[in-house]
């Protein structure tokens, strides 16, 4: 199905891809209106929703990560709840001195780097937002998700062309690697780079000399305090930390629970279906999923990223018929999974003597990523204290971190949360540069 001939916007040569994207962008802004862009986006949503199941199957088959039903929900969110042209701001300054209008104009061709954990959603989300703002995009997809990304690029182009739009608004090299990335970073045609992934990628983009929107790694902590509705907190953590097997950068990765309600919270977690690892089991799981290099530095065993709990447990000799969405264990701040971004549904719970201790430890675990965090508490003063201390881009009270993206809370969807560079949840406005037109000398003042 992802046969060479059928893939629109996928090029053998990266330079050819950039040229095609440049031509497409010029056509977009000279021959088409904003209403046309809206029509293209509507058609993208229609085409993508029709292929949603296939897209999820392809993503799981290619990457080996996550769960089909969650991929369908995740990718549908990126398709249906991403922002279009309505999100492009404009500012108007009108006084008796004159009239000035500030437009949010496109950059031109944007270079986008996508993660293996989201090979479809990042193409859809970045693609719709960049195109809504009048740009074209060249994607350098993660090599281990390139077939899914290529299929998505092609599907979006097909939808745009079907709606009467130009070819190649989204392009990518067929075999993306560090060399194609280098060409994209050095191309004078590419005016903005947007990267979604880990710290190595962010570091590389930052050295390009171009403007960078960087969406980096996270390690989101959650605090459960003694005023929380523990049943709701257990349900919320179970749903959110387990989503797509904990692959998402926003997913809760370690939970700080106040001592006075720790045992009750554990019971509630078990009631909703989570598997409690005893001391011996948690040691075995840790040895399986955390590896050490020669210098003793710990890192995650990639074999278990995005795998289901029962698959991981099977490899330590625990056979279970059911499918618990997470397994959890009690531990201390010394445990490596408190600090490593595990991206698998094995969740450490840390018992805290006081709220102050929970805040201190959660801040340490987040490690200044400024990414995401949550708190389950009815005490607004505490929520404020934690929100100030943790200083993350996404901060949620009484909900899974996905709530800030419209799942159990309100918000728009985006697969790219620009954390180190500070743009936050990206959208069409992220892909714009501000231009001013001024009618001077009191021109056009009508009062």
Residues that bind ligand NAD (CB under 6 A): 113-118, 140, 142-143, 181, 196-198, 200-201, 204, 215-218, 249, 341, 416-417, 419
Nearer of residues 113 and 358 to ligand NAD, judged by Cβ: 113
CA distance 311 to 136: 41
Least Å from the CB of residue 145 to ligand NAD: 8
In the chain, what are the helix, strand and coil shares in percent, each to the nearest 5?
A: 45, 20, 35
| 3-class secondary structure, 257 | strand
Q: Judging by beta carbons within 10 Å of its beta carbon (0-12, 13-18, 19+), is residue 118 exposed, middle or buried?
A: buried
Nearer of residues 143 and 408 to ligand NAD, judged by Cβ: 143
CA distance 75 to 82: 11
Place of tokens 């440049």: 22
Least Å from the CB of residue 122 to ligand NAD: 7
Least Å from the CB of residue 205 to ligand NAD: 7
- The string of DSSP codes covering 175-203 is S--HHHHHHHHH-TTEEEEEEES-HHHHH
Place of tokens 């962008």: 25
Least Å from the CB of residue 286 to ligand NAD: 20
Nearer of residues 58 and 269 to ligand NAD, judged by Cβ: 58
CA 365 to the chain's CA centroid:
20
Nearer of residues 134 and 218 to ligand NAD, judged by Cβ: 218
**Dihedral sign for Cα atoms in the order 55, 59, 61, 65:** negative
Residue 102: other Cβ atoms inside 10 A:
15
Least Å from the CB of residue 235 to ligand NAD: 24
Specify whether the CB–CB gap between 22 and 110 falls below 8 A.
no
Least Å from the CB of residue 62 to ligand NAD: 13
Nearer of residues 142 and 147 to ligand NAD, judged by Cβ: 142
Least Å from the CB of residue 444 to ligand NAD: 42
Nearer of residues 269 and 394 to ligand NAD, judged by Cβ: 394
Burial 68-93 (b: 16+ CB within 10 A, else e): eebbbbbbbbbbebbbbbebbeeeee
Nearest to 325 by CA among 203, 234, 208: 234
CA 290 to the chain's CA centroid:
24
Nearer of residues 277 and 402 to ligand NAD, judged by Cβ: 402
CA distance 254 to 246: 11
Least Å from the CB of residue 140 to ligand NAD: 6
**Dihedral sign for Cα atoms in the order 309, 311, 316, 318:** positive
Specify whether the CB–CB gap between 192 and 211 falls below 8 A.
yes
Least Å from the CB of residue 392 to ligand NAD: 11
Nearer of residues 169 and 418 to ligand NAD, judged by Cβ: 418
CA distance 256 to 222: 6
Rg, the chain, Cα only: 23
**Dihedral sign for Cα atoms in the order 83, 107, 423, 371:** positive
Nearer of residues 150 and 215 to ligand NAD, judged by Cβ: 215
Nearer of residues 135 and 369 to ligand NAD, judged by Cβ: 369
Nearer of residues 204 and 403 to ligand NAD, judged by Cβ: 204
Strand partners, 434: 104
Burial 138-157 (b: 16+ CB within 10 A, else e): bbbbbebbbbbbbbbbbbbb
Nearest to 110 by CA among 3, 187, 32, 4: 187
Least Å from the CB of residue 421 to ligand NAD: 10
Least Å from the CB of residue 189 to ligand NAD: 19
């Amino acid at each position: 199905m992802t046969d060479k001939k059928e893939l629109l916007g996928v090029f053998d040569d990266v330079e050819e891809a950039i040229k095609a994207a440049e031509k497409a962008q010029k056509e977009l802004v000279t021959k088409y209106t904003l209403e046309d862009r809206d029509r293209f986006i509507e058609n993208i949503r229609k085409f993508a929703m029709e292929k949603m199941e296939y897209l999820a199957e392809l993503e799981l088959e290619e990457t080996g990560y996550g769960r089909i039903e969650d991929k369908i929900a995740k990718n549908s969110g990126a398709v249906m709840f991403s922002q279009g042209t309505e999100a492009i701001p404009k500012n108007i300054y009108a006084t008796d001195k004159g009239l000035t209008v500030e437009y949010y104009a496109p950059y031109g061709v944007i270079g986008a780097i996508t993660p293996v954990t989201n090979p479809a959603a990042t193409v859809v989300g970045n693609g719709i937002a960049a195109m809504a703002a009048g740009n074209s995009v060249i994607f350098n997809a993660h090599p281990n998700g390139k077939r899914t990304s290529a299929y998505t690029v092609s599907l979006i182009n097909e939808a745009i062309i079907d709606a009467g739009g130009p070819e190649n608004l989204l392009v990518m090299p067929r075999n993306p690697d560090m060399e194609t990335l280098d060409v994209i970073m050095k191309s004078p045609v590419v005016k903005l780079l947007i990267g979604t992934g880990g710290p190595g990628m962010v570091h590389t983009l930052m050295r390009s000399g171009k403007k960078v929107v960087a969406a980096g790694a996270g390690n989101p902590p959650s605090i459960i305090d003694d005023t929380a509705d523990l049943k709701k907190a257990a349900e919320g953590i179970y749903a959110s930390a387990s989503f797509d097997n904990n692959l998402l950068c926003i997913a809760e990765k370690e939970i700080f629970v106040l001592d006075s309600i720790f045992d009750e919270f554990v019971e509630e977690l078990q009631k909703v279906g989570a598997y409690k690892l005893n001391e011996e089991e948690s040691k075995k799981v840790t040895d399986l999923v955390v590896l050490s290099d020669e210098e003793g530095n710990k890192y995650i065993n990639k074999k278990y990223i995005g795998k289901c709990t029962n698959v991981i447990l099977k490899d330590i000799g625990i056979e279970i018929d059911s499918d618990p969405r997470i397994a959890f264990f009690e531990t201390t701040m010394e445990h490596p999974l408190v600090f490593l971004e595990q991206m698998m549904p094995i969740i450490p719970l840390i018992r805290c003597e006081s709220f102050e201790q929970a805040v201190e430890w959660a801040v340490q675990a987040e490690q200044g990523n400024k990414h995401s965090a949550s708190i389950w508490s009815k005490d607004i003063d505490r929520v404020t204290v934690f929100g100030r201390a943790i200083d993350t881009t996404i901060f949620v009270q009484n909900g899974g971190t996905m709530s800030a993206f419209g799942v159990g809370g309100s918000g728009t969807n985006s697969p790219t949360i620009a954390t180190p560079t500070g743009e936050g949840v990206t959208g069409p406005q992220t892909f714009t540069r501000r231009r001013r037109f001024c009618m001077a000398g009191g021109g056009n003042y009508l009062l």
